[in-house]
Chain A
């Protein structure tokens, strides 16, 4: 299925250049189109991703997650409002799960964010997880990069807390917010699901409920058991529907970002280390190359390696060495071919 069918004289590269230039210029239409291209893994993605490499890591990525019903979207909506008051341009990636049966999805996070629809300083994109087991679309990180390249200061990543996706959020987000709410069935359930591990800021929403203090107390107690790091995880109370506590949340996010930046010796508090993100991209790509080789190649060499692993005549580290060796030879062969 071809993406562009304008019938004009533009070459593929020219077309991509058009989108890329407009994307870097902050044109929302180009950003929207680029996101679609990335989602489809269209051949043009490569050009686009390469073009934005210099801009990777500029935007602060703030991840929000939590179980359904805690008021995530409402809180994100309030946070967007606060960011706009602080004159920040905001991109939002809202991810909802695709149906495992049909592959379709209802993407409804926008409902709670409708007040920002006409604000040109806010760009919201709804993504479906598209079969990715973790809940996060594999392209999510790239989408965040695109938004950053397009000039947004903050990219909010909103996902449903399904356990796995929180783990993935750690790969992408600079600041990780985990939201819970009191009296929500079992308060401790969400905590037990392990999301506490990744939360750098914990929020108890619907703080006007009677059990709020109890939940806050429980979370603080759990935190006390964690191995201390140089970042003290705050537990914040919000009432998103009224906007209460959102200023404190925004301040806490800024503090965490500054904390990250300090770790990388940056001056500007909102800027993160671009190198870190590039390492991520590189590691992902390299990992995919290795994975493809190991899982899908039918070469004699690989078969022999697998036999050797099976009968224990080689350990796993040595096996990895062999894999890298084999790939290295392939690279040399390709270069000479």
Chain B
């Protein structure tokens, strides 16, 4: 069960490569990609190589299980240079209050060292509502209110979106993406230059856990995702439309192995959908990305990611006949887990986030968000958010965690644990296969029950004290309430101004144009041959709001109800 069969090298092998070893190939790729001189010395004067591997080239076990970075089975990393060549994107979630607040904060964060942006919209936006449709005290507290093209323009003012990778936390039907693309048009930016991800767009995970982001029915979501995928594949070629979420399941209580297994199963389900649509696996799989939680179970997380990479690279070939190695890359963004953070002695969370971040880095992530220490209490304060970024910079520049690719590779523990995690993960994938795939497993409640059992098991461990949580069930300390960080919430007047702005926006646009476009959107929903994303774009271009677009689509495609199991 789960043992890797020998595989060929991921990339097509050229004639002249026949005499080259895998190591040679890796070295050549590395040299080609690494750019300027990359000699690194540590404090003691020792030169640090980018990669450490067994000296014996004929070691089949090494080739089968680990391989070189960027080569099958991808265990050590999906690129030849990994963080030594280009570090992970520092992609901190930013979202609070009004678009102006977002813009101010993102500028600060970029100048503090963040290299990519991630917009997190208000919960009202997640639920598919405009700001004039919800109780005002709920607005802007966990994310930025973005309902219109105007809002998006303000969010992205002075931000070079043709140069910076943009993460939009933007579940189906990708209204934020339509707003951003419209802004790009207005600025004369070629969509081909836009890079980024529709983070957390995986709708299956929302039906099962977290629940924040579903809006449309399951069949409606399926259709919308495929339409958007197809549309963007040719028009926004560098955009990652699909972000499959392991984080939701893990935060709901799934074990790390389960979260990985469920995420991969979900991805396989989507891949099947794309295949049924007639899309080319080499094309669409290259646009699949993942999003994971990094818990503080340090080594387990590292092994989880390494195993995930290995499994994915093999399964996409086995199940979809992929030939291009780019389509076998397990790309992922990860976020340090808020579930491990405590309300008690919040400054301790800085240490927790640091440990989690290191695990993520050693796990080979492509992009990371580090939580602020006050994340458990409210939306992060500016000071706390700055520390979170500094943490990443310290790990990169001071602890030199980027110097070596997969530095724990070869460790007896890590390799054994990677194998064990692989077995567990494959076990979960098999169980989902037996259920008939992820849709069936979710409809049957199988996934929900699996997660529920693990959640309770963990809870029991915490209560019994078996799992120590410092400051909570051990090492408790009398705390002074005044030492708690101050809550940051947008002023009621500010949010009221946002609502007023929306009213004004609606008054100033051409209502007849909007009505016409929404009518066409509705008709498109009922017409399977047409592309709903294209219709959404058209509606947004003439001033339809996020809430109006989603309401129309909900009417036509069905309102999503979470598939919860009590």
Instruction: Name A's B-contacting residues (CB within 8 A).
Output: 68-69, 71, 106-109, 111-112, 114-115, 183-184, 206, 209, 241-242
Query: Could you say which of B440, B565, B566 contacts A107, with CB atoms under 8 Å apart?
Result: B566
User: Can you list 11 pairs linking A and B with CB atoms under 8 Å apart?
Assistant: A69-B445, A71-B443, A106-B566, A108-B566, A111-B562, A114-B561, A206-B443, A241-B217, A241-B218, A241-B219, A242-B219
Chain A residues positioned under 8 Å from B436 (CB to CB):
183, 209
Task: Report if B347 contacts A (CB, 8 A).
Answer: no
Query: Could you say which of B443, B444, B562, B566 contacts A241, with CB atoms under 8 Å apart?
Result: B443
Query: Do B564 and A111 have beta carbons less than 8 Å apart?
Result: yes
Q: A77: shortest Cβ distance to chain B, in Å?
A: 9
Q: How far is the CA of A207 from the CA of B443 in the complex (A)?
A: 13
Q: A173: shortest Cβ distance to chain B, in Å?
A: 24
Known: A71-B443, A115-B561. 19 other contacts (CB 8 A): A68-B445, A106-B566, A107-B566, A108-B564, A108-B565, A109-B566, A111-B562, A111-B564, A111-B566, A114-B561, A183-B436, A183-B440, A206-B443, A209-B436, A209-B440, A241-B218, A241-B443, A242-B219, A242-B558
Q: A117: shortest Cβ distance to chain B, in Å?
A: 12
Chain A residues positioned under 8 Å from B558 (CB to CB):
242
Q: How far is the CA of A134 from the CA of B558 in the complex (A)?
A: 38
Q: How far is the CA of A39 from the CA of B558 in the complex (A)?
A: 38
> Which residue of chain B is the closest to A77 with respect to CB atoms?
B561
- Most A CB within 10 A of own CB, among B218, B443, B558: B443
Chain B residues positioned under 8 Å from A209 (CB to CB):
436, 440
Q: A279: shortest Cβ distance to chain B, in Å?
A: 37
For the complex of A and B, the 9 pairs showing the least CB-CB separation, nearest first, are A108-B566, A106-B566, A69-B444, A111-B564, A69-B445, A111-B566, A183-B436, A242-B219, A241-B218
Q: How far is the CA of A115 from the CA of B554 in the complex (A)?
A: 14
Chain B residues positioned under 8 Å from A69 (CB to CB):
444-445
Q: B206: shortest Cβ distance to chain A, in Å?
A: 15
Chain A residues positioned under 8 Å from B566 (CB to CB):
106-109, 111
Q: A189: shortest Cβ distance to chain B, in Å?
A: 15
Q: How far is the CA of A262 from the CA of B16 in the complex (A)?
A: 88
Q: B128: shortest Cβ distance to chain A, in Å?
A: 16
Q: How far is the CA of A183 from the CA of B558 in the complex (A)?
A: 26
Chain A residues positioned under 8 Å from B443 (CB to CB):
71, 206, 241
Q: Classify the secondary structure of B's interface with A.
A: loop
Chain B residues positioned under 8 Å from A206 (CB to CB):
443
> Which residue of chain A is the closest to B558 with respect to CB atoms?
A242
Q: Could you mark each residue 528-566 of chain B with 1 if its beta carbon is under 8 Å from any beta carbon of chain A, else 0?
A: 000000000000000000000000000000100110111
Q: How far is the CA of A107 from the CA of B562 in the complex (A)?
A: 17
Q: How far is the CA of A107 from the CA of B565 in the complex (A)?
A: 10
> Which residue of chain A is the closest to B445 with respect to CB atoms?
A69
CB proximity to A under 8 Å, residues B482-510: none
- Most B CB within 10 A of own CB, among A68, A108, A241: A241
> Which residue of chain A is the closest to B435 with respect to CB atoms?
A183
Query: Could you say which of B219, B440, B444, B561 contacts A112, with CB atoms under 8 Å apart?
Result: B561
- Most A CB within 10 A of own CB, among B445, B565, B566: B566
Q: How far is the CA of A183 from the CA of B437 in the complex (A)?
A: 12
> Which residue of chain B is the closest to A183 with respect to CB atoms?
B436
> Which residue of chain B is the closest to A112 with respect to CB atoms?
B561
> Which residue of chain A is the closest to B565 with respect to CB atoms?
A108
Chain B residues positioned under 8 Å from A111 (CB to CB):
562, 564, 566
Q: A101: shortest Cβ distance to chain B, in Å?
A: 15
> Which residue of chain B is the closest to A239 with respect to CB atoms?
B219
Q: B551: shortest Cβ distance to chain A, in Å?
A: 16
Q: How far is the CA of A114 from the CA of B561 in the complex (A)?
A: 9
Q: How far is the CA of A112 from the CA of B558 in the complex (A)?
A: 15
Q: B57: shortest Cβ distance to chain A, in Å?
A: 49
Q: How far is the CA of A17 from the CA of B521 in the complex (A)?
A: 57
Chain B residues positioned under 8 Å from A114 (CB to CB):
561
Q: A254: shortest Cβ distance to chain B, in Å?
A: 26
Chain A residues positioned under 8 Å from B444 (CB to CB):
69, 184
> Which residue of chain B is the closest to A210 with respect to CB atoms?
B436
> Which residue of chain A is the closest to B446 with respect to CB atoms?
A69
CB proximity to A under 8 Å, residues B408-445: 436, 440, 443-445
> Which residue of chain B is the closest to A206 with respect to CB atoms?
B443
Chain A residues positioned under 8 Å from B217 (CB to CB):
241
Chain A residues positioned under 8 Å from B562 (CB to CB):
111
Q: How far is the CA of A183 from the CA of B440 in the complex (A)?
A: 10
Q: How far is the CA of A108 from the CA of B449 in the complex (A)?
A: 13
> Which residue of chain A is the closest to B562 with respect to CB atoms?
A111
> Which residue of chain B is the closest to A181 with respect to CB atoms?
B444
Q: How far is the CA of A314 from the CA of B561 in the complex (A)?
A: 64
CB proximity to A under 8 Å, residues B108-139: none
Q: B246: shortest Cβ distance to chain A, in Å?
A: 24
Q: A265: shortest Cβ distance to chain B, in Å?
A: 43
Chain B residues positioned under 8 Å from A109 (CB to CB):
566
Chain B residues positioned under 8 Å from A106 (CB to CB):
566
> Which residue of chain B is the closest to A105 with respect to CB atoms?
B566
Chain B residues positioned under 8 Å from A71 (CB to CB):
443
Chain B residues positioned under 8 Å from A241 (CB to CB):
217-219, 443
Q: How far is the CA of A131 from the CA of B218 in the complex (A)?
A: 37
> Which residue of chain A is the closest to B217 with respect to CB atoms?
A241
Q: How far is the CA of A68 from the CA of B443 in the complex (A)?
A: 12
> Which residue of chain B is the closest to A243 with respect to CB atoms?
B558
Chain B residues positioned under 8 Å from A184 (CB to CB):
444
> Which residue of chain B is the closest to A113 with respect to CB atoms?
B561
